[in-house]
């Protein structure tokens, strides 16, 4: 009987070990993405000036517990008849949250939590009202942007919620379409979300509506990377000229 060459045996063992390493790495990545942190990138301007197109961020998946939308492709292990959240924790007003669009659960949105269950939310003259009281906002330096080579100055404010959370909002249009609304009463088990770019945001004032607690995916914690939109994350040859270095590894207010 012929002996198997030692070289062939060694090559077979090497491929087996490589295959195992790839599988282990994939399982670890899935575990981290599902239960700990998931990367997201910002494709739209609805959260300017807090989040910019080209920002890459990590979302804390365990911040509010887990639901069917915590799992890739909605692979909820508890069955279709079980809804709600496991290990649930309440979000805080002012959190920046990634959630599933209520009308299309295949789409992710990111907005700021403004209204808690039972709250009455209204916009009047561009000012946010929570439970009948105006939310203070102070004009600060303009937000400066360049669009198609033209420099624009956008009015910018620092808004402060009743609990003390502060953040920046933009007011692009005086008397914009969403600057005056009816009163929204947030139902039990739902939340009211708004974009910081108030005149350029599809949020709970319009087509998003109230967001069920089950749809929350996690809390946006910090940016780990940012480009000016001229390069994707994987286009490393463009990094030196496209990275926004001042935004790397920065927390999200």
Alpha-carbon distance of 190 to 211, in angstroms, equals 5
Cα angle at 253 between 222 and 151, to 5 degrees?
95
Predicted confidence (pLDDT) per residue in 1-32, tens digit? 445 555 556 566 678 777 778 887 877 777 77
Kindly report the CATH number that applies to the domain delimited by 13-75+86-118+186-251: 2.10.109.10
> Are 47 and 112 spatial neighbours (Cβ–Cβ below 8 Å)?
yes
pLDDT in tens, 40-93: 999 899 999 999 999 999 999 999 999 888 877 655 555 454 567 888 899 999
List the domain boundaries for the chain: 13-75+86-118+186-251
Q: What is the pLDDT of residue 139?
A: 97
Strand partners, 220: 59
Least confident of 17-21, 35-39, 153-157: 17-21
Residue 138 CA, distance from chain mean position: 25
What residues are labeled active site? 46, 111
Element (H, E) at 152: strand 150-160
Q: Is the pLDDT of residue 104 over 80?
A: yes
Query: What pLDDT does residue 93 have?
Result: 98
Q: For 156-166, give one letter per residue: b (16+ CB within 10 A) or e.
A: bbebebeeeee
> Regarding beta strands 250-251 and 216-226, do their DSSP bridges make them parallel or antiparallel, or are they unpaired?
antiparallel
Whole-number pLDDT of residue 9:
60
Residue 232's pLDDT is what? 74
Q: What's the pLDDT at 77?
A: 57
Query: Long-range contacts made by residues 139-144, C-beta under 8 angstroms, separation at least 24?
Result: 140/168, 143/48, 143/49, 143/168, 143/170
For residue 29, what pLDDT is reported? 73
33 DSSP 8-state letter: I
pLDDT at 124 over 60: yes
């Amino acid at each position: 009987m012929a002996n198997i060459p030692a070289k062939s045996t060694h090559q077979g063992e090497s491929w087996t070990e490589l295959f195992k390493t790839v599988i282990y790495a994939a399982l670890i990545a899935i575990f981290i993405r599902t239960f700990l942190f998931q990367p997201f990138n910002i494709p739209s301007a609805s959260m300017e000036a807090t989040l910019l197109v080209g920002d890459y961020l990590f979302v804390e998946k365990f911040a509010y517990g887990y639901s069917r939308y915590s799992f890739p492709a909605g692979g909820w292990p508890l069955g279709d008849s079980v809804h709600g959240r496991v290990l649930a924790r309440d979000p805080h007003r002012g959190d920046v949250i990634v959630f599933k669009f209520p009308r299309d659960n295949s789409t992710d949105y990111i907005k700021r939590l403004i209204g808690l269950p039972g709250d009455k939310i209204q916009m009047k003259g561009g000012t946010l009202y929570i439970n009948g009281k105006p939310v203070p906002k102070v004009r600060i330096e303009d937000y400066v942007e360049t669009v198609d080579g033209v420099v624009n100055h956008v009015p910018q404010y620092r808004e402060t919620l009743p609990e003390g959370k502060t953040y920046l909002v933009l007011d692009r249009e005086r008397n914009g379409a969403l600057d005056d609304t009816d009163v929204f009463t947030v139902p039990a088990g739902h939340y009211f979300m708004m974009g910081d770019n108030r005149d350029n945001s599809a949020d709970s004032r319009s087509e998003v509506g109230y967001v069920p607690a089950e749809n929350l995916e996690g809390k946006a914690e910090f940016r780990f990377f940012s480009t000016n939109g001229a390069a994707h994350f994987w286009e490393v040859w463009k990094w030196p000229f496209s990275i926004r270095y001042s935004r790397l590894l920065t927390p999200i207010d």
